[in-house]
Amino acid sequence: MTKAIRSVAELAASGLISPAREAELVAVAARYDVAITPTMAALIDPADPADPIARQFLPDIRELDIAPEENVDPIGDHAFSPVKGIVHRYPDRVLLKPSHVCPVYCRFCFRREDVGSGGEMLTADELEAALDYIRARPEIWEVILTGGDPFLLSARRLKEIVQALEAIPHVAVIRFHTRIPIVDPDLVDAELVDALAAEKAVYVVIHANHPRELTAAARAAALRMTSAGIPLLSQSVLLKGVNDDAATLTALFRGLVAMRVKPYYLHHADLAQGTAHLRTGLAEGRELVRALRGRVSGLCQPDYVLDLPGGHGKVPVGPSYANFSGKTGWTVEDPQGIEHAYPPQSRP
């Protein structure tokens, strides 16, 4: 297996981009870090100009085009960061971000201004201050480790954090958000899985966007976690040219459920800078979600959510099937799109 690629020069040397594009893409990489793991690089067909894996990880000159609605803080996290490494936007749960490093740099990342070599890792003192923030607030019921990818931490450091959270009485749930089980599945080894062990509920949410990402190695990594009693959920980002068709989303969600991963969220792509070429419209997203309902197992239906700019929070934006009118009462649309009065009209 080849080694991880962390520069445009390495992308060109490995044949993933043509030498002609190297110069222009150096400018993109100067703005947003580039990285792809061997597992993901091996999935790319360099002969396919529309390859859905390449679109997610290989830099594109269009990233330098900034649309007026795009923002360096697309979901307004910064205003909710009371101490370094913590984002506290909802009363009962916080994000804890011990690191800014990812194994890949997704070109659509909503945190692209904060992750990468320009970001800052929490020092031991800063981590302790973040934990103190949690300790001092009994309303914090859940701690969500994200980043950066928390599974890039050493098993020893992960274990320390899990144990520290385990010892805080009011914390009931420890949740990890990670892309490692997909992009570098062998890192999810026995030692890492052991580090996650707690008496409290530990959930792992896996980020996956295309059915091709669900490799045999990813499946094995998932099995190592579920065998240890860790429930798995997934989050996916709706991306133009990657998964914005019903067949691809169906294959993705079925593939996840078949490896014991419950699709949790389908995110509408955030307004991160330089990502317009990867975004769909809300209307298209709703049509896709509607196409799945009724035709595909309910287990395969994540919530379609939008994180509102300005820190207003995450909200479901999927189709609504029930409408109320003062005159006729409730009308509910069935999965075929036919409307029905509810309760059914009584006969005269």
Ligand X SMILES: *Cc1c(COP(=O)(O)O)cnc(C)c1O
What are the angstrom distances between the C-alpha of 123 and each of 87, 88, 128, 134, 196? Answer: 17, 20, 9, 17, 21
Type of residue at 91: P
Rounded-to-10 torsion of CA 247, 213, 6, 203: 110
Positions in 302-331 near ligand X (CB under 6 A): 314
CB of 131 to ligand SF4, least distance (A): 22
Helix, strand or coil for residue 34?
Answer: coil
Type of residue at 288: L
Among 63, 113, 149, 184, binds ligand SF4 (CB under 6 A): 149
Q: Which is nearer to ligand X, 234 or 280 (CB)?
A: 234
Per the CB < 8 A criterion, the answer to whether 235 and 205 are in contact is yes
Q: Which is nearer to ligand SF4, 99 or 250 (CB)?
A: 99
Among 97, 111, 175, 212, binds ligand SF4 (CB under 6 A): 111
CB of 312 to ligand X, least distance (A): 11
**Backbone phi, psi, residue 116, to 5°:** 105, -175
Task: Assess 106 for contact with ligand SF4 (CB under 6 A).
Answer: yes
Task: Assess 87 for contact with ligand X (CB under 6 A).
Answer: yes
Q: Which is nearer to ligand SF4, 81 or 331 (CB)?
A: 81
Q: Which is nearer to ligand X, 37 or 234 (CB)?
A: 234
Task: Assess 102 for contact with ligand SF4 (CB under 6 A).
Answer: yes
Query: If you write DSSP's letter for every residue of 15-67 in order, what string do you get?
Result: TSS-HHHHHHHHHHHHHS---B-HHHHTT--TT-TT-HHHHHHS--GGGG---
Task: Assess 100 for contact with ligand SF4 (CB under 6 A).
Answer: no
Task: Assess 144 for contact with ligand X (CB under 6 A).
Answer: yes
Residue 292 tokens, joined: 């799945």
Question: Which of ligand SF4, ligand X, none is residue 33 near (CB under 5 to 8 Å by kind)?
Answer: none
Question: Which of ligand SF4, ligand X, none is residue 109 near (CB under 5 to 8 Å by kind)?
Answer: ligand SF4
Among 21, 93, 219, 240, binds ligand X (CB under 6 A): 93
Residue 224 burial (CB count, 10 A): 16
